[in-house]
Amino acid sequence: MGNTFGKMFAVTTWGESHGDAVGVVIDGCPPKIKLDESDIQSELDRRRPAQSKITTQRKEQDKVQIISGVFEGRTLGTPIMIVVWNQDARSKDYNHMKDIFRPSHADYTYQMKYGVRNWKGGGRSSARETVGRVASGAIAKLILRQQYSVEIIGYVKQIADMVSELEPEEVERSNIESNIVRCPDQKLADEMISKIEEARKNGDSLGGVVETIVKGMPVGIGEPVFDKLDADLAKGILSIPACRGFEIGSGFSSVTMTGSSHNDEFHIKNSVVRTKTNFSGGVQGGISNGENIILRAAFKPTGTIVKEQQTVDIYGNEVAFSARGRHDPCVLPRAVPIVESMTALVILDHILRQRGQVGSVMKNNNSKA
Amino acid sequence: MGNTFGKMFAVTTWGESHGDAVGVVIDGCPPKIKLDESDIQSELDRRRPAQSKITTQRKEQDKVQIISGVFEGRTLGTPIMIVVWNQDARSKDYNHMKDIFRPSHADYTYQMKYGVRNWKGGGRSSARETVGRVASGAIAKLILRQQYSVEIIGYVKQIADMVSELEPEEVERSNIESNIVRCPDQKLADEMISKIEEARKNGDSLGGVVETIVKGMPVGIGEPVFDKLDADLAKGILSIPACRGFEIGSGFSSVTMTGSSHNDEFHIKNSVVRTKTNFSGGVQGGISNGENIILRAAFKPTGTIVKEQQTVDIYGNEVAFSARGRHDPCVLPRAVPIVESMTALVILDHILRQRGQVGSVMKNNNSKA
Amino acid sequence: MGNTFGKMFAVTTWGESHGDAVGVVIDGCPPKIKLDESDIQSELDRRRPAQSKITTQRKEQDKVQIISGVFEGRTLGTPIMIVVWNQDARSKDYNHMKDIFRPSHADYTYQMKYGVRNWKGGGRSSARETVGRVASGAIAKLILRQQYSVEIIGYVKQIADMVSELEPEEVERSNIESNIVRCPDQKLADEMISKIEEARKNGDSLGGVVETIVKGMPVGIGEPVFDKLDADLAKGILSIPACRGFEIGSGFSSVTMTGSSHNDEFHIKNSVVRTKTNFSGGVQGGISNGENIILRAAFKPTGTIVKEQQTVDIYGNEVAFSARGRHDPCVLPRAVPIVESMTALVILDHILRQRGQVGSVMKNNNSKA
Amino acid sequence: MGNTFGKMFAVTTWGESHGDAVGVVIDGCPPKIKLDESDIQSELDRRRPAQSKITTQRKEQDKVQIISGVFEGRTLGTPIMIVVWNQDARSKDYNHMKDIFRPSHADYTYQMKYGVRNWKGGGRSSARETVGRVASGAIAKLILRQQYSVEIIGYVKQIADMVSELEPEEVERSNIESNIVRCPDQKLADEMISKIEEARKNGDSLGGVVETIVKGMPVGIGEPVFDKLDADLAKGILSIPACRGFEIGSGFSSVTMTGSSHNDEFHIKNSVVRTKTNFSGGVQGGISNGENIILRAAFKPTGTIVKEQQTVDIYGNEVAFSARGRHDPCVLPRAVPIVESMTALVILDHILRQRGQVGSVMKNNNSKA
């Protein structure tokens, strides 16, 4: 259970890292949307292994195929099935992992939960599962952009102790995709890349923070009281492998502020109700207020490292273990499209829910101006 | 929509702050559990207004009534309906709020989403809605304790910049409930209380962090890939009013660690597979590993303050606004039972899901020793 | 589990026959709908005990109270909680049932499922639970009528072997409510009433068929492939106590027809695509085609009878049993508003789902003319 | 939406009749179950086109492939993706249907709902979608048989006016599969086959009734009040293409009985509480009572016929239409495994739900003896 996300735009991912394929079924995609495989491929390429020297060198083209739900170039409104065949699935690289519980991986917990696991490359717990998320997220982003003028921009804000001080509103997508670490602060990006390469040479790994801004957000999206927009964003983000924390707006830093400095005062701007500040990160009472949504996701340093570690095997023996094969010394650059995708899936799902309730969705702040 | 939480132990809260009553329906409570109103009342009393000098002085006894689902002192397995009648519901204190969008409240977003709102005390967006969460959480905690030996302990770790350095494992419930701010560091608690009182005098408010430890957690609980245990905890916690951030285990601090220092090595202890450290916070790959679950929730400073603020009314006029009536200068002490409740609801729900899949649930680390 | 119905207009009923109260929470009711208790009361009165000489004489006024979700006469879009207090709940009439498994009741199955049951009057398995269905159905019917011009008319088509030959299109609500058995064939109604009274005198009971017509149905409502409109109607109808069968359109009688006689040919009428016949009952491929929806529900003879029957007690003894107290010799007259309510809940839910997908709902055949 | 069925054993079908493939994703299959493709293939062969002279002659081998969720011959507990590639998908046979709304098909309703449709062979509305149902149903049946000793046997009870009088308890699977119409009354089967061939020669089609018996049913399965076992069965059955009616136990025939003749008296047999009769069809109050479950599904005569019919095209012209290509003159023989599959999906899902609530499932009547 638990492999489906969303109520109105429901995505179900399937597949294991070294099985035949990975993919996703989307139920609830609105009909008549122009869609072809290239719309999805471009996003999968941002998530693809071996895209740069600081990602894993596993050889996967991740070529997308749409198997159902699209007819003569347009969505049918019926389930869209998307598959990416695993090319490197027969690898023997993982035999040494067969009997081992890798530290800070899901080997032990899967074994205890299910009594069985596909030990090849982490099986279902591998981040390869996120292929389905990015493929469906690509469609969600396309719909959000075309039908609602919503733009979602994620980027690396922090690697280890290197923190970009750029304000989210200053970030352009072109500045993110111009470097392989996906940090819009170009100078800091070089430093981050060096540190990631250094970590790899040391057989070690680094963590970081992805920040995301959602521009053009319609007002009134989000369902009180449990399915708050920020609550569903938190779930979506925390469901990404290696994610350990979530913040909306001021997040943990709000804790040391006072109410009088933290409250976002309202005023009228271009005839629209706006807030002067945006400590709320665009969400108040679980519902969007039309300001940009700002969120951050903390990713731990990759669990897979070459440095030797102590662990336990499935027979209860204490053993030493070193990862072989190729892996990411830092997941952050490839995490960016995944965070964007989960953000898009949550927002589109909530827009469709709101549309069900009132029949239309309130325009965003710009469109009202 | 969005007023139901959980799949197997599903709670639906209802009611507005100044309507007739607030309450909850629980669907999926296992049968034959000994339950009376006092089991719930004790937890509601921890959430109750006017319980101390640092909470709102609104007069509510919050007396719980079980209307259905319990027969001759035991649960029937059918829906449990719980009601708490509002006593102070006729108050005129809120008339000045009728036409105002209070800063950093949900007045504006509710109005835009629904085109109508109950403006008395925030209506549905009021934290009074959490009465239903705490009532159902009390039952979940009781079941977790009695049937699974799971204990959930929440406490205030931080208020403004005052941070308790106690390790979660050192915290005893008796040390928490012994002071009105619910911080287990008794000396710091006094300081926190003073600062909260000072904020109130200034017409201002403070934020803070609630930390929660779950002891005796069974192994194998949590559903990959979207309904990860930590993802559902994140959603539950972020759905609490005023919550702005969530962390599991090392959380945001993991970002500056390396993989070799952050990974939790496995070893054998008392014949059980254990981790030497617990940076994972008890969850790996979205599934519990039997270690204590550690999570943190960031709460912003209360939005309601007496200090004058600029805002906008429903007619589009820019106006000044000061909150009247009684309110919490800091929600943290009352947030503790709410965080515990959401944690309990998530964990019990996931235990029941796991039971459905395999018919039984793996014992916790202690029971295996 | 299983006490919630619907995804977008989700109703959760709660309460036992002889507990404190019965009721319902509605999550997803659109906002700003004018609603007061009299809108609901009029429908509850059609379901009420003791409304005529052929229903049970249990004394219940079934006075409705709206506890939440309505403010200043309009719905808020947040949960509507409705309660009906049980007045006759302290009755001792049921003590003789305490240890008995009544034949063709749910006493045995509840005991085996839950290991406990509220034996007073059937507890949760009592048809008294349908109070919540009729209350929420009243709201759904009101919305369907006001916002979509959809009218749902149910009536008794058959009692025992007495079958009304009226075509659904000939039936007017005034002809149904003009007699206590709710059969639009006035002459047959008298005969039905006599036979029901005779059954009662004999300590026996009768069954029958409720037929329902839905007029003004919008086109395009229903979700392939599992949540077909007729599939969800079947579920809703079969979930009513004592219901044993469901048909849409030609139903079981289609079996003896040939394709060439059964197919509904299309033609153009008043510029609208219409079918010449309506064997499909308004649903094709699980989606409404704009013709009237016609469905039938079979109800078995009431299980509660005064005639002595053989049964078993909870200790495993074979015993004789005769029902005491007041009961319905035939549930059909009171089943009519329940069938209408389930029909309304399904249709409104599906309209809101369709609205989520495309943003608006296609008008019905008349509006296009 | 609406392409997922089940909560604990959730199946999502995808694919169109003349797209690349059809298939299913199963989420919630218990782990460690021995499973290979032949377990599924044998059931797909019962549903396959061209299996006999009385089914459509479309050339499809329907060869099953398991793409994920099975590792080294056992289920992983993670999603099982099953695909059947369409071999005859490039057929030009359907060009004449492109602009036509076929009578009593879903062409018109899909067009009106989605504003677009895959007109090749019915696209998503084709019964080819049931490949995914039968594939997942095969797994559900295997689990029910191996883990719960539950056996589900479906068969043709009626074609047109030819009705088998065999009691469900007399039916053996070998007697069903021994003839191509799947009627256990061998003599009647020959007559049915002749009449179906005759209908085909006439360019016409026939309907019928599938009856199903579930033996070895555990006690206590089914969730009041909406997710009653019979209500979910009704939904599952009515979701099958061409199904128009559903009955449990005595069904519509109960209507003409009296309570005293219809009630199932309890007695003790082999130390187990049993009913003397089984008019309830194994379900009381929505919960299984351990007796055999008996249900019936009415199927209309196939909509696709060669005889000329009047209809309308997408431009609003009234036109004559005759189906070309190969089609089933009677769906009943191929409907049998589909009805069994939906029955299995409902029952397994409910067993897992019950297991979640109480941790184990009550044995069936035989096992208690």
What's the per-residue H, E or C state across B27-50? ECCCCCCECCHHHHHHHHHHHCCC
Q: What are phi and psi of D287, to 5 degrees?
A: -125, 140
Nearest CB to D32; choose among A2, A83, A116: A116
Distance from CA of B47 to the nearest CA of C (A): 21
**Which amino acid is located at A125 in the chain?**
S
Whether residue B247 is predicted with pLDDT greater than 50 in this model: the reply is yes
Give the model confidence (pLDDT) of D8-34 as tens digits: 999 999 999 989 999 999 999 999 999
Chains in contact with chain C (at least 3 beta-carbon pairs closer than 8 A): A, B, D
Whether residue B228 is predicted with pLDDT greater than 90 in this model: the reply is yes
- Provide the token pair at B350: 């996931």
Give the whole-angstrom CA distance, residue C47 versus residue C130.
9
8 Å CB contact between C308 and D264: no
Under 8 Å CB pairs connecting chains A and C tally to 39
Give the whole-angstrom CA distance, residue B107 versus residue B17.
13
pTM: 0.97
Confidence category of residue D368, pLDDT binned at 50, 70, 90 = very low
Interface test mutation site (partner D, options C22, C260, C360, max chain D beta carbons within 10 A) = C260
Distances (CA, A) of A255 to B230, B271, D326: 22, 42, 70
Whether D67 and A4 lie within 8 Å, measured CB to CB: no
- Provide the token pair at B4: 């139901």
Residues of C in contact with D4 (CB under 8 A): 226
Whether residue A368 is predicted with pLDDT greater than 80 in this model: the reply is no
Whether residue D367 is predicted with pLDDT greater than 70 in this model: the reply is no
Residues of A in contact with B239 (CB under 8 A): 225-228, 231, 286
CA atoms within 13 A on the CB side of B254: 32
Confidence category of residue A96, pLDDT binned at 50, 70, 90 = confident
- For residue B249, the enclosing domain spans 4-368
Whether B358 and D31 lie within 8 Å, measured CB to CB: yes
- Provide the token pair at B162: 């005052």
Is B212 exposed, middle or buried (CB count within 10 Å of its CB: 0-12, 13-18, 19+)? Answer: buried
Q: What are phi and psi of D297, to 5 degrees?
A: -125, 130
Confidence category of residue B359, pLDDT binned at 50, 70, 90 = confident
Residue A321, chain B, CB below 8 Å: the answer is no
Q: Any idea how long chain A is?
A: 369
**Which amino acid is located at A20 in the chain?**
D
Alpha helices in chain D (DSSP H): 37-47, 107-114, 130-148, 173-177, 186-201, 229-238, 259-262, 332-358, 365-368
Give the model confidence (pLDDT) of A105-158 as tens digits: 999 999 999 999 999 888 999 999 999 999 999 999 999 999 999 999 999 999
Chain D nearest-CA residue for A118: D71
Distances (CA, A) of D14 to A130, A340, D41, D58, D124: 20, 26, 18, 20, 8
Query: Left (φ > 0), alpha (ψ -120 to 50) or beta: where does A146 sit?
Result: alpha
What integer pLDDT is reported at residue C368 of this predicted model? 45
Give the whole-angstrom CA distance, residue C199 versus residue C178.
22
Give me the number of domains chain B comprises: 1
Q: What is the CATH number of the domain that holds A268?
A: 3.60.150.10
- What string of DSSP letters covers A192-250? HHHHHHHHHHTT--B-EEEEEEEESPBTT---SSSS-HHHHHHHHHHTSTTEEEEEETT
Please give the mean pLDDT across all residues of chain A. Answer: 95
Is B59 exposed, middle or buried (CB count within 10 Å of its CB: 0-12, 13-18, 19+)? Answer: exposed
Residue D325, chain A, CB below 8 Å: the answer is no
Helix C229-238, helix C332-358: angle, nearest 10: 150
Residue A356, chain D, CB below 8 Å: the answer is no
Tokens 């059980």 correspond to what residue?
B272
What integer pLDDT is reported at residue B95 of this predicted model? 80
B210 or C57, greater pLDDT: B210
Residues of C in contact with A8 (CB under 8 A): 353, 356-357
Distances (CA, A) of D134 to A230, D338, D341: 40, 6, 6
ipTM above 0.90, yes or no: yes
What integer pLDDT is reported at residue A94 of this predicted model? 74
Give the model confidence (pLDDT) of A196-247 as tens digits: 999 999 999 999 999 999 999 999 999 999 999 999 999 999 999 999 999 9
Confidence category of residue A326, pLDDT binned at 50, 70, 90 = confident
Residue numbers of B between 106 and 125 with CB closer than 8 Å to C:
113-118, 123-124
- Selection from B15, B199, B9, B251 nearest residue B123 by Cα: B15
Confidence category of residue D59, pLDDT binned at 50, 70, 90 = confident
Helices and strands: H and E segment counts in chain A: 9, 19
Give the whole-angstrom CA distance, residue B259 versus residue B252.
14
Give the model confidence (pLDDT) of D194-228 as tens digits: 999 999 999 999 999 999 999 999 999 999 999 99
What integer pLDDT is reported at residue C89 of this predicted model? 60
- Selection from D217, D266, D220 nearest residue D365 by Cα: D217
Give the model confidence (pLDDT) of D284-310 as tens digits: 999 999 999 999 999 999 999 999 999
Chain B nearest-CA residue for C8: B1
Please report the beta strands in chain A, taking only residues with DSSP state E, as ranges in sequence order: 4-5, 10-15, 21-27, 64-68, 70-71, 74-75, 80-85, 100-101, 151-159, 162-163, 208-215, 243-248, 266-269, 272-275, 283-284, 287-288, 293-299, 309-313, 318-321
What integer pLDDT is reported at residue B199 of this predicted model? 97
Which of these ranges, A24-33, B47-56, C75-84, has the smallest mean pLDDT?
Answer: B47-56
Q: What are phi and psi of D168, to 5 degrees?
A: -55, -35
Nearest CB to C30; choose among A353, A358, A360: A358
Confidence category of residue A57, pLDDT binned at 50, 70, 90 = confident
Tens digit of pLDDT per residue, chain C (369 long)? 999 999 999 999 999 998 999 999 999 999 999 999 999 999 999 999 889 998 888 888 999 999 999 999 999 999 999 999 998 765 666 787 889 999 999 999 999 999 999 998 889 999 999 999 999 999 999 999 999 999 999 999 999 999 999 999 999 999 999 999 999 999 999 999 999 999 999 999 999 999 999 999 999 999 999 999 999 999 999 999 999 999 999 999 999 999 999 999 999 999 999 999 999 999 999 999 999 999 999 999 999 999 999 999 999 999 999 988 678 999 999 999 999 999 999 999 999 999 999 888 888 886 643
What integer pLDDT is reported at residue B368 of this predicted model? 45
Which of these ranges, A34-43, B321-330, C105-114, C245-254, has the smallest mean pLDDT?
Answer: B321-330
8 Å CB contact between C47 and C34: no
What integer pLDDT is reported at residue A359 of this predicted model? 85
What integer pLDDT is reported at residue A362 of this predicted model? 84
- Selection from D132, D107, D135, D102 nearest residue D119 by Cα: D107
Confidence category of residue A90, pLDDT binned at 50, 70, 90 = low
C362 or D249, greater pLDDT: D249
Whether residue D93 is predicted with pLDDT greater than 90 in this model: the reply is no
Residue D220, chain C, CB below 8 Å: the answer is yes
What integer pLDDT is reported at residue B90 of this predicted model? 58
What residues contact C5, with CB distance under 8 A and at least 6 apart?
C11, C12, C236, C239, C345, D226
Give the sheet arrangement for strand D64-68, strand by strand: D4-5, D10-15, D21-27, D80-85, D64-68
Whether A287 and B158 lie within 8 Å, measured CB to CB: no
